Structure 1
Amino acid sequence: MNARAGSVQALTLQPAGGAGQHAGRLEAFADPLKARLVDSNSLRPVPGAEVTFCWTSTSQQALFEGDEIAVTVRTDAGGYAETPPLVAGDAAGTALFTATAEGAAPEEFAVTVDP
C-alpha cells in the first residue's frame, strides 16, 4: 500500500506581518496583514492556496479597503498571502482578525485603533 494513499497534507499558517500595529481613527494602517502557509512536515511553502482574513471583533474598528470585513487571497510562490490595505474605523480599541486556510489551524491578528 502506498504511504500517501488517503493521507492529507498537514499545513501550518504562520503570521508574517501586520499584527500589533497602530493607526489613528479613520486612517490607513501602515502595513497589510500577511500570513505564510507551509507544509507542517517539510516547512516548504504552499503556493496557490486560498487564505481568508476575516474581521472578528464585536465593534467596528478596522476594515479592509472598500469596507470589506473579509478578503480571500491566494498565496504566492513563497507561500505568502497579503491583504489589501486595512483602514481604521471611527471607534478606538483593538480589532481582531482571523486568517484561515484549508488544512491549517486558524491564526489571529490584532491591530489597535488609537483614540
Structure 2
Amino acid sequence: MKYTVGVLLLLSVLRSSICADVEAIIRNDFDGPHDDGSYKWALQTEGGIYHEQRGSVQAAGGEPSLLVEGQYQYTAPDGQVINLLYTADAGGFHPTGAHLPTPPPVPPQIQRALDYIARQSRLNDV
C-alpha cells in the first residue's frame, strides 16, 4: 500500500511539473491533406520550438509511397540550438544535423583489408 501511494505521489508531482512547462503556440499553419495526398504544416511555440513538414505521394518504382520532408529546431538544456533536417521515404528516415554523431573515418589499412576481402569474395563467386 505504501508503495502504491508513493508511486501515485511521484506521478502527480511529475504531472504537475510537466504541465507547468506548457508553452503558448504562436504559429499553427496547416494545409491539406489534398486530393493528391500532399500536405504541409508548421508549428512554433513562444519558447523557440519550431517544426515544419511537407509530404507528397510519389509513384517511383510502381508502388506509390509517401515522401516527407521537414525540419525542427529547439534549444537543448545545455543551450545548444538543435536544428534537424529530415526526409522520410520508402527507404526510411534520413536525418541530418550538426549535432548528430558521425562515425570516424575508416583507417587506410582497414579499408585496404575490406577491399581485399570484397575482391576475394567476388573471385569466389565466379
RCO comparison, higher one (Cα < 8 Å, 6+) = 1
TM-score normalised per structure 1: 0.25
Structure number with the higher helix fraction is 2
